[in-house]
A and B are shown apart, each in its own frame.
Chain A
Amino acid sequence: MALVRMTSPHAKGNNHTQTIMLWVLAATLPGVLAMTWFFGFGTLINICFASLVALAVESLILWVRKRPISFYLRDGSALVTAWLLALALPSYAPWWLTLVATAFAIIFGKQLYGGLGQNPFNPAMLGYAVVLVSFPVEMTSWPAWRGIEAVLPNVQATLGLFDGLARIFLPATQAIDGWTLATPLDVVKTNASLTMAELQASKPVFGSLAGHGWEWVSLAYLAGGIALLYKRIYTWHAPVGMLGALAIMSLLFWNGSGSDSNGSPLFHLLSGASMLGAFFVVTDPVSGATSKQGRLIFGAGVGILVYCIRAWGGYPDAVAFAVLLMNLAAPTIDYYSTPRTYGHRKAKRGMGKTD
């Protein structure tokens, strides 16, 4: 009878990387549903297409790197990257945009660094940033929402599945006009003459809290994030850091409700990719900071940068750039946020030598 020789611990909990990834995907579902309700099937089509591209590209690179393909595909990390990217891109982004973003994210953002766990940057945000700077027109073509014809009769929401497929895969056959609108963040950013009340009255893009439809999508992401917190997939530090910093910044630089207003804290929290970023992007453990305190700092950094770019930068939204910038800073944050170990009077911090 050969007894096995193994090191302790002999008991093993039932945490699995796949489970974590699947939980993240599941938590995006409320947001996906809200997106689909307000903007049609574009989001779902994008998710499917991006997933296919991600899996195909990941398999290809694993094959080139001579790694066991199914073992690594099963961890689900490529799917998470694809889903987050698909949710961040405009709902009816043309197929080649999704292809470029996803392929870049997987190949350059992840596999070239050595695969899962080795990438210094968030792959989805890297892919997003690449297409944002390369194809700004397509990247700012956000569709009109369900019910737009009631306020703007000449604009149509794209709600049917086949319409959506046609828009995505045959973009040249469709006129650009007539189905896209500027996002609320864009409207506020370019506004220079109207007070906030006038702006809200004159532009149908605004809903009761933030953007029409957008506010519900953001709340759906928030719900998914809370589910993940409840499941202890991640700790509260990074999301709270980001949303807190964003709220504080927008409160400090609100500028009232005049024409030079930057928008209310609530408006910033529920607009653009704030919630998606806070619960699905800055919580990426691989490219974020390590310790709890570090994650709080990391999240806060993202929140501050998001606000700075929104209010004073060249882009209406900024989660991708803010996250990439903070990814760069993460190793340094780690150095300065090491927790105090049991039995030590204080933590060893900074770049100083040991001893």
Chain B
Amino acid sequence: MTAASPIRIWDIPGGIHPEENKHQSTAHGIESVPLPSQLILPLQQHLGARAEPTVEIGERVLKGQLIAEASGMISCPLHAPTSGTVTAIGPAPYPHASGLEEWAITLDVDGQDQWCELSPMSDYQSLEPATLLEVIRQAGISGLGGAGFPTSVKLKARPEQKIHTLIVNGTECEPYITADDSAMRYHAEQIVAGIEILQHILHPEQVLIGIEDNKPEAIAAMRKAVGTRDSMQVVVFPTKYPSGGEKQLIQILTGKEVPSGGLPADIGMVCQNIGTLLAIHDAVLLGQPLIKRITTLTGDALSHPTNVEALIGTRISHLLEFAGLQPERLYRLVMGGPMMGFTLQSMAAPIIKTSNCLLAGTQEELPPPPPAQPCIRCGLCAEACPAELLPQQLHFFALGKEYDQLKRQNLFDCIECGACSYVCPSSIPLVQYYRAAKSDIRALDLQQHKSDHSKQRFEHRQERLQREAEQKERDRQARAEKAARLKAAKEAEAAKPSATENDSSVEPDVARLQAQKPSGLSPEQKQAKIAAATAQMALKKAQKQLAANPDNTDLQAQIPTLEQAARDAQTAFDQVQGDLATQPAAEPAAGGDDAKKLKIEAAMLRANLKKAERAAGDSPSAEQQAEIDKLRSEAEAAYARVPAAATSKKPIDENLKKAKLDLAMARAAVKKTEREIDSSPDDEDLKAQLAAQQQVFNAAEKALHEAESNSPIPPPERNKVDKKPVDETLRELKTNLATTKADFKRAERELQAAIDAETDTAPAQDQLTATRAKLDAAAKAFAEYMASKETN
């Protein structure tokens, strides 16, 4: 049979020949199942992200209407398989080995089977491949063979790689399953049309339709449908499990291997299942989304094993009833085939897009495995393995949890086909060991990844903290140096006037510093202050809680006590503070603090008042109203206590500041223009500008003086402003003193040189006398100036 095929057939290593059991379900063609009364449509019927429902409970939907949209790139939308009403969106039975529920849309069928508006595209050849891919995506098509990978994503998995071979998987190598076989027998034309659509999208050089030689009817039907098309070819090869695995089929048809961890697209191939092609045909040429599939119902517990075209979401119990389930004979219910399918615990779950078979086996048919015996390393598993692994070694390392060795033995290339378990003479559930080891390794890798991430973050944080600490240390040193320099400078300055028997010039500065700095608090003051703050805080907290929870009587009872405590603490602090205030030196400071404190107190009271008002809302209770009134009167009283100076100081200060700023700006402008004139003295414009600026400067100066005369700030503060001209006189005097001193020193040196050289020393002596007189005069002028400044 294969002799006619011009394509070379390659063999795969390993493989087994389990009993096929396919004939049971092929006697009745493809039957339709009566509409069930309810459909359960899980949002996760594919590999990837769960679909997002777009309908609401109670909404009526039409057949083919979108009910959940794809969320993300690797996801798949979902459509209503018939018309009806959405009755629930939430966890519902789901066909999974775990038996756990999954989010689903439950649809109560109205029996009218009323289609929504469809938009078939019979002239798809005129469409862009990208448009067709979008049609396939919007039709919710995911692989109908096994894993359920979204088809549109699979078709463009490697956009940079040209697909030269499209492989159509009609192998169906698992025993019992005949869904693809039936599809090929009865829908060959549509499948070929589906292939043509993919040809239009991918433009492959060849299309290989691979079918095992145990399906002669399907082969004949497909050959007939392909007809004289040169672009596609039906390839028949010997039956062997697991020829239908994607990687194995590629090896059989092309002799090439998909790289480990890669995709068929990496070697320019893409593989599609028969059911998927049928769905593509329906989506493009009929405009129908994926809402039904062909499913095999088989097993000895069914009196009427057959293939059905079932709506996605039909309950398993409904399908098995149709196939004549004999519940007393049912022992093991498998979704999928006997080699890779999984057992179901309940028949309440629906079939989903990937459900190609329901196998209702009796105990004689699928007996429980005998207890596992020790592995004798016979190597039958290695001979059966299609991936050329050493299953006995994998088993040995999986038992010992030696994950590094398992990776070295390429555990992750295991396709879990079950051939090793099938042949194992010791009945060891090898595949289960591999699954467990794989998930352990994945979990460990994830953990490792997380801990690496945390470690990195921790290290970065440590580095950052160290950097900050170093920076702080550098800053501290810089400050210390600066302070030392300043101190040295100050000492030098202080030492100088003392040399001229006048050190009182330092005093105003010290007084000012003391006035500005908060006076050092004695320990008891500190304590009192802390106590007051704590009491205040407790009060605030209680008030806040009360605001959030106005009905709490405990809190309401607490508040007066807390208020009392806060007041007591404040009084105690005030008292201590008052003791301090009796000391004359600290009086101004204490006075300033008092004003500030009063202000703060008033502000706090006002805040409390606002809070209470907010808490009370539009309809305050009697208690709340009383509280508000009390707070309001307290706040008013507090504001009244604040000295007028403290409250009125601000605006005048602003005036002064502004005037100063104006003056500084004017001065800077004048200076700049002066510099410019220096560099280009002939510029008349600049001169005119300078004149204008000088006027502005004079005006600013005048304004400043006015502001100063209005200012209530005590004279020492104002000294800062007045100081400048004084400073200039002082500087002049100082410079004069320094120059004369230098002259005097030079004269001294000259005299010394004359003495050393034994020349005439008379001129040098004259010089010295003259410079000394000058120096005396300068020193005298300086001392006089300092004295006058002091009396000022």
Using CB atoms and an 8 Å cutoff, list the residues of chain A in contact with chain B: 1, 3-13, 15-17, 19-20, 71, 75, 77, 115-118, 232-235, 285-286, 288, 290-292, 295, 334, 338-344, 348, 353-355
Task: Tell me, rounded to whole Å, the shortest Cβ–Cβ distance linking A346 to chain B.
Answer: 11
State whether A3 touches B422 (Cβ < 8 A): no
A4 contacts which of B331, B340, B393 (Cβ < 8 Å)? Answer: B331
State whether B339 touches A8 (Cβ < 8 A): yes
State whether A290 touches B390 (Cβ < 8 A): yes
B407 contacts which of A13, A115, A340, A354 (Cβ < 8 Å)? Answer: A354
Task: Tell me, rounded to whole Å, the shortest Cβ–Cβ distance linking A312 to chain B.
Answer: 33
Contact string against A for B residues 237-276, beta-carbon threshold 8 Å, 1 for contact and 0 otherwise: 0000000000100010000011111100000000000000
- Bound Cα distance A117, B392 (Å): 11
Q: If A343-B262, A354-B404 touch, does A290 touch B345 (CB 8 Å cutoff)?
A: no
Q: If A6-B368, A75-B373 touch, does A339 touch B390 (CB 8 Å cutoff)?
A: yes
- Pick the 8 closest A-B CB pairs, nearest first: A9-B418, A343-B260, A117-B374, A15-B425, A11-B338, A342-B387, A354-B408, A341-B410
State whether A342 touches B251 (Cβ < 8 A): yes
Residue on A nearest B379 in the bound complex, by CB = A285
State whether B389 touches A4 (Cβ < 8 A): no
State whether B380 touches A15 (Cβ < 8 A): yes
Main secondary structure, interface of B, reads loop
**Which A residues are in CB contact (< 8 Å) with B432?**
7
Q: If A11-B18, A290-B392, A291-B390 touch, does A285 touch B376 (CB 8 Å cutoff)?
A: yes
A13 contacts which of B344, B404, B423 (Cβ < 8 Å)? Answer: B423
Task: Say if the beta carbon of B523 comes within 8 Å of chain A.
Answer: no
Q: If A3-B330, A9-B338, A117-B377 touch, does A340 touch B343 (CB 8 Å cutoff)?
A: no
Task: Tell me, rounded to whole Å, the shortest Cβ–Cβ distance linking A230 to chain B.
Answer: 15
- Bound Cα distance A326, B483 (Å): 84
**Which A residues are in CB contact (< 8 Å) with B387?**
341-343
Q: If A5-B345, A334-B393 touch, does A12 touch B422 (CB 8 Å cutoff)?
A: yes
> What are 28 A-B residue pairs whose CB atoms fall within 8 Å in the complex?
A7-B435, A8-B334, A8-B341, A8-B342, A8-B416, A9-B340, A10-B339, A11-B19, A11-B175, A11-B366, A12-B367, A13-B18, A15-B380, A15-B424, A17-B376, A17-B425, A117-B376, A235-B379, A285-B378, A285-B379, A292-B382, A342-B257, A342-B386, A343-B258, A343-B259, A343-B387, A344-B413, A354-B404
Q: Which among A15, A340, A348 has the highest number of chain B CB atoms within 10 Å?
A: A15
A8 contacts which of B330, B331, B373, B431 (Cβ < 8 Å)? Answer: B431
State whether B408 touches A285 (Cβ < 8 A): no
Task: Tell me, rounded to whole Å, the shortest Cβ–Cβ distance linking B595 to chain A.
Answer: 74
Q: Which among B258, B336, B407, B422 has the highest number of chain A CB atoms within 10 Å?
A: B422
**Which B residues are in CB contact (< 8 Å) with A288?**
377
Main secondary structure, interface of A, reads loop
Per the 8 Å Cβ criterion, residues 345-390 of B in contact with A are: 345-346, 359, 361, 366-369, 371, 373-380, 382-383, 386-390
Task: Say if the beta carbon of B332 comes within 8 Å of chain A.
Answer: yes
Task: Tell me, rounded to whole Å, the shortest Cβ–Cβ distance linking A154 to chain B.
Answer: 48
State whether A4 touches B368 (Cβ < 8 A): yes
**Which B residues are in CB contact (< 8 Å) with A355?**
407
Given contacts A343-B262, A354-B405, 18 further A-B contacts (CB under 8 A): A1-B327, A3-B331, A3-B344, A4-B343, A6-B369, A7-B435, A8-B334, A8-B421, A9-B338, A9-B421, A13-B18, A16-B427, A116-B373, A116-B376, A233-B378, A339-B382, A343-B261, A348-B410
- Bound Cα distance A286, B375 (Å): 8
Task: Say if the beta carbon of B24 comes within 8 Å of chain A.
Answer: no
Task: Say if the beta carbon of B429 comes within 8 Å of chain A.
Answer: yes
State whether A116 touches B374 (Cβ < 8 A): yes
**Which A residues are in CB contact (< 8 Å) with B413?**
341-344
Q: If A3-B333, A344-B410 touch, does A10 touch B383 (CB 8 Å cutoff)?
A: no
A17 contacts which of B257, B327, B373 (Cβ < 8 Å)? Answer: B373
State whether A7 touches B429 (Cβ < 8 A): yes
**Which A residues are in CB contact (< 8 Å) with B376?**
17, 20, 77, 116-117, 285-286
Task: Tell me, rounded to whole Å, the shortest Cβ–Cβ distance linking B405 to chain A.
Answer: 8
Residue on A nearest B380 in the bound complex, by CB = A15
**Which A residues are in CB contact (< 8 Å) with B421?**
8-9, 12
**Which B residues are in CB contact (< 8 Å) with A116?**
373-374, 376
- Bound Cα distance A338, B410 (Å): 11
Task: Say if the beta carbon of B426 comes within 8 Å of chain A.
Answer: yes
State whether B377 touches A286 (Cβ < 8 A): yes
B343 contacts which of A3, A341, A343, A344 (Cβ < 8 Å)? Answer: A3
A9 contacts which of B19, B257, B339, B435 (Cβ < 8 Å)? Answer: B339
